[in-house]
Each structure stands twice: as C-alpha cells, then as structure tokens.
Amino acid sequence: MKILKWIGIIVGALLITLVVTATVLFLISKQHENETYQIDVAAVDYTFDDEAEMLSLGQHVATIRGCVECHGGDLGGDIFLEDPIVGVLVATNLTSGTGGLGSTYSDEDLIRAIRHGVRKDGKSVIFMPSHEYNVIDAKDLAALIGYIRSMDPVDSSHLPETKIGVPFRLMYVLSGGDIHLFPARIIDHTLPTPEPVEARSPMELGAYVATTCIGCHGNNYGGGTIPGVPPNWPDAANITMGGTLANYASAEDFIHTMRTGVTPLGVEMIPEFMPWPVFGSMTDEELSGLFVYLQSLPPRETGSR
Ligand code: HEC
Ligand code: HEC
C-alpha cells in the first residue's frame, strides 16, 4: 500500500509540473502576443507617372511576394492554415469591403503592417512573414500599396476569427524563435525602406527576390522541416548546391521546374506546400537571377535550414 501511495504522489507531482509548465509557456506566448510597438513610418517616397505601370508592377509584387497565397487573389482575405494543433489562422481582407481594412488604413498603416509586422492596434501581426518584406524597395512598395487600393471591395464577413491553438502556442515558445508567430519581435525596426534600384545585376535581382523563400527553405536555403506547419507537410528541399540545386544543369531547367512544378527527378510538387504557380510567375530575369544567386551560396547539408 505504501508503494501505491508513493506512486500516486509521484504521478501527481509530475502532472502538476506538466500543468504548471504548460501554463507558463502559454502565458509567455500571451505576453509576446500583447507586446506593442510604436513605429513612426514615413509615407513611401515614389510616384508613378503611369497608373497602368503601377498596377501591373503592384500585381506582380503581390504575386511573387506571396501576398495572394494567403490573402487570396482578390486580396479579400482567406483562412490560410486550419489544423487541430495550429488553430485557425486567417489572413486579413485588405480590400475596402465589409470586414476589410482597406477603407480604415492609411498608407502608413499598410507600410507598418507590411514592413514592420505591426498592426494598427500596435501588436505584432500573427504569422505573416513581414520579416521577409522589409527588403522591398520604395518603388515596389508604392506599387503594392497602389494595387491593394485598386482592388474591388470584397465582403469577408463569412471568415472566422484567428484563433491560435494552445498546442501551437506551446510549440512556439519551445521552438525558441524558430516559429515566427509574432514577426514584429524579430524585425529591425530602424531599417529604412530601401531606395528603388534602376537596374539590378542577375545576382542582385536573385538575392532581392529570394527572401520570399526563406520562410520555408530556411535562412541559408538548406531546407528541412518547416517550423510551425502541420505534420502532413513535406520537408522543404535543400536548394543549395549541397542539395537538389545540383540537379539543375541550367537556368532553363530551374525555370522549367518553377513554372511546371516538376523537379528534374520527376517529382510533381503540390502547390499547397511549394507555391510554384505563384513563384513561376516571376519574370525570366527574376528566375534566372534566383538560379545564379542560389548557385553562388555555400553548399549546405540538407536540413541545415
Ligand atoms: C503566410 C501568409 C501571409 C502572407 C504571405 C502575407 N500575409 Fe498579410 N497577413 C497574414 C495574416 C495571417 C494576417 C493577420 C494577422 C493578424 O491577425 O494579426 C495578415 C495581415 C495583414 C495585414 C493587416 C495587418 C493589420 O493591421 O491587421 C496587411 C496590411 C497585410 N497582411 C498585407 C500583406 C501583404 C501586402 C503581403 C505581401 C507582401 C502579405 N500580407 C503577405 C498572412 C500573410
Ligand atoms: C510555403 C513554403 C515554401 C516556399 C515559400 C517556397 N518553397 Fe520551395 N519547396 C517547398 C517544399 C515543401 C518543397 C518540397 C516539395 C516536395 O517535396 O514536393 C519545395 C521544393 C522546391 C524546389 C524543388 C527542389 C528539387 O529539385 O527537389 C525548388 C527548386 C524550390 N522549392 C524553390 C523555391 C524558391 C526559389 C522559392 C522562393 C522563390 C521557394 N521554393 C519558396 C516549400 C516552399
């Protein structure tokens, strides 16, 4: 009987420890969520003479930077992740329709969200990769904002509210920053919007557009398990010369894969996981620049992110 009593005490103590730990992790995630940022942003310093040029550039930027992947092609908002662990993550309606923020946000508010990951209420955006967007130059940013403003109003009142799953909150804290749930925390808010560049070399252009790949392929493009996505997702490929990039004999091969979703080994990639239809709409110059840039990087071991 004594033994049973002791087992009971030990199990009870373990359970209490677990509950206390989970509560502490939960509260840390809440604290991060509620942190507020006061950021003064300047209006974007670029004007287009030609509205059609602005809108076509804006559409291009919204596509290749992945905005349309999460916010929907009409930018009317969408559920972009729904999973028992992650919860429901909803990308905001950016139009001026019901439920949209278009009519209430100034250009500065939009810039704050895009470049700094800070919402109008001062808190971090949830899981939107703003840390990949503070490289966007003033011309692209002006076009992007013009494009957002040009969208037809969309009613998004059918969309649920974002609800971060409790397990995801715990995973986030335990990941020690690998899951970028509150991106405003990891952005250098002192960096000014980069000046527009008249012409970039293929290498510079590749480096410029490649930031959109790091969320999944990792900061050094070594691939591996993508932090924070549901378990049914495949690992991101190692797109350095230490990995699958070595399978591409030429920029044409690489462009072919990015436009058809079929790798040199014949694997058909699923757009939900590797959004090739979006990235495939990069220009030839952007895609071959990407190839040159990725080839120039140190070869990495697969999984080294
Ligand atoms: C991986 C998905 C994802 C991508 C890619 C993405 N967003 Fe978002 N975005 C979100 C989510 C989710 C929210 C809602 C965040 C929240 O509730 O805090 C959001 C919120 C916003 C907001 C509103 C922030 C606020 O003040 O409430 C703006 C503006 C925005 N996104 C613009 C963009 C633009 C422009 C792009 C492309 C350059 C983009 N987003 C790319 C997921 C994404
Ligand atoms: C939302 C996550 C995500 C983003 C963003 C993303 N990728 Fe991927 N990518 C993946 C995944 C996952 C795979 C593996 C697909 C598979 O195995 O079916 C992959 C595979 C690839 C492959 C195939 C490699 C091979 O030959 O096997 C290439 C090339 C690639 N990505 C390039 C890019 C580039 C370039 C970018 C940025 C412009 C990018 N990806 C952005 C998730 C992503």
For ligand 2, pick from 274, 285, 291 the residue to mutate: most ligand atoms within 8 Å of CB: 274
**Least-confidence region, from 114-128, 221-235, 238-252:** 221-235
Asked if residue 249 and residue 164 are part of one domain, the reply reads no
Q: Which domain holds residue 66?
A: 51-186
Question: Considering only CA atoms, which of 275, 245, 242 is closest in space to residue 258?
Answer: 275
Q: What is the pLDDT of residue 229?
A: 87
Q: What is the pLDDT of residue 139?
A: 97
Q: What is the pLDDT of residue 228?
A: 86
Longest Cα separation, the chain: 87
Boundary of a domain, candidates 123, 157, 186: 186
Q: What is the CATH number of the domain that holds 206?
A: 1.10.760
Asked if residue 229 and residue 166 are part of one domain, the reply reads no
Q: Whose CA is nearest to atom 28 of ligand 1?
A: 113
Domain for residue 30, yes or no? Answer: no
Q: Cα of 261 to ligand 2 centre, how many Å?
A: 9
pLDDT band at 224 (very low <50, low <70, confident <90, very high): very high
198, 216 contact by CB (below 8 A): no
Dihedral angle of Cα 186, 190, 196, 201, to the nearest 10 degrees? -60
Q: Cα of 252 to ligand 2 centre, how many Å?
A: 17
Per-residue pLDDT tens over the stretch 180-212: 999 999 999 999 999 999 899 999 999 999 999
Q: What is the pLDDT of residue 2?
A: 86
User: Looking at residues 97-123, what average pLDDT do you find?
Assistant: 95
Q: Residue 79 and residue 90: Cα distance in Å, rounded? A: 4
Q: What is the pLDDT of residue 122?
A: 97
Asked if residue 215 and residue 126 are part of one domain, the reply reads no
Asked if residue 210 and residue 175 are part of one domain, the reply reads no
Q: What is the pLDDT of residue 166?
A: 95
pLDDT at 109 > cutoff 90: yes
Domain for residue 36, yes or no? Answer: no
Asked if residue 55 and residue 126 are part of one domain, the reply reads yes
State which ligand 1 atom lies nearest to the alpha carbon of 144: 35
Q: What is the pLDDT of residue 268?
A: 97
Domain for residue 305, yes or no? Answer: no
Domain for residue 102, yes or no? Answer: yes
The domain tally of the chain equals 2
Per-residue pLDDT tens over the stretch 261-284: 999 999 999 999 999 999 999 999
State which ligand 2 atom lies nearest to the alpha carbon of 263: 26
Is the CB of residue 213 below 6 angstroms from any atom belonging to ligand 2? yes
Q: Residue 225 and residue 151: Cα distance in Å, rounded? A: 35
User: Looking at residues 38-57, what average pLDDT do you find?
Assistant: 93
Domain for residue 83, yes or no? Answer: yes
Domain for residue 289, yes or no? Answer: yes
93, 157 contact by CB (below 8 A): no
Per-residue pLDDT tens over the stretch 133-156: 999 999 999 999 999 999 999 999
pLDDT band at 1 (very low <50, low <70, confident <90, very high): confident
Q: What percent of the chain has pLDDT over 90?
A: 92
Asked if residue 59 and residue 167 are part of one domain, the reply reads yes
Q: What is the pLDDT of residue 230?
A: 84
pLDDT at 234 > cutoff 90: yes
Average pLDDT, the chain: 95
User: Looking at residues 121-128, what average pLDDT do you find?
Assistant: 97
Is the CB of residue 92 below 6 angstroms from any atom belonging to ligand 1? yes
Q: Residue 164 and residue 177: Cα distance in Å, rounded? A: 16
Q: What is the pLDDT of residue 45?
A: 81
What's the pTM? 0.94
